[in-house]
Amino acid sequence: MSWSEKVALVTGGAQSIGAAIADGLAAAGATVVVGDLNPTDAHESLTLDVSDEASVEAAVAQVVDTHGRLDIVVNNAGIMFEESVADHDRATWDRMLAINLTGPMLLTKHAAAHLAKNNGGGSIVNVGSIEGDRCNPHHAAYAATKSGVHGLTRATAIDLGPMNIRCNAVAPGWIDTPLNASYVDSHPDRELVIDELAKLHPIGRVGAPSDVADVVVWLAGDESRFVTGQVITIDGGRTVRPPLPGILS
């Protein structure tokens, strides 16, 4: 299928990595619909709360009613907060789980029948994290949900493969997002932080949202037609190099 025939729904696509993914799919030629709690003028958009099953079902129906098909789903919407597991409030834990993990499951559930109708098959891309395999302090809920996203990706690939639906995930590392930028900007020596972050990466820099988007577009398209059940790490090589004490490195 040509990209011009494809219709994509991107959750959390109003900003940051999600916006870059939406832009990348549109640049490839796809019709892009952004599902987000916040509207965007960059693409067609609809209001979507991924933690609410009725909202998810209505969003999928709206896309199909408007465009007659759905070919690509990108489960990007997510939140992150820092809280020690010893201090976790049940409500904050449940909120992280509902948005980061239950949301992708719900959208996969309601999109599957429509993705399966397409002659070229459907593609689901989930946005996980390197913290799905390793963890920073006070990120218990975030890491747990991203590990769950990786597991959901593999299970979905198995369950929906016979329906000609592929499911893959990306696991970004440190990406220059507004959230990470605010963290860097809050440090007394911002330039030192930027320099030290770059040194963590063999490639010599932190990632940009477009670095993630380019891989998502590939996974969403026909060029990756024999790839499914995979979690592709996008971290500039950060996680393949074991850390050394400063005196040795």
Helix (H, G, I), strand (E, B) or coil at 166: strand
* Domains of the chain, each with CATH number or no CATH: 3-175+208-238 (3.40.50.720)
- Does pLDDT of 182 surpass 80? no
- Does pLDDT of 47 surpass 80? yes
Mean pLDDT of the chain: 93
pTM listed for this prediction: 0.94
Give residue-wise pLDDT tens across range 89-141: 899 999 999 999 999 999 999 999 999 998 778 999 999 999 999 888 889 99
Give dist(CA 144, CA 148) in Å, integer.
6
Q: Is 142 a catalytic residue?
A: yes
List, in sequence order, the alpha helices (H) in the chain.
Answer: 16-28, 53-67, 90-97, 103-115, 140-160, 178-185, 190-199, 209-220
pLDDT at residue 119, as a whole number: 74
What average pLDDT does this structure show over 21-50?
97
Among 142, 171, 220, 233, the active-site one is 142
Q: Which amino acid is at 53?
A: E
Give residue-wise pLDDT tens across range 69-95: 999 999 999 998 888 899 888 999 999
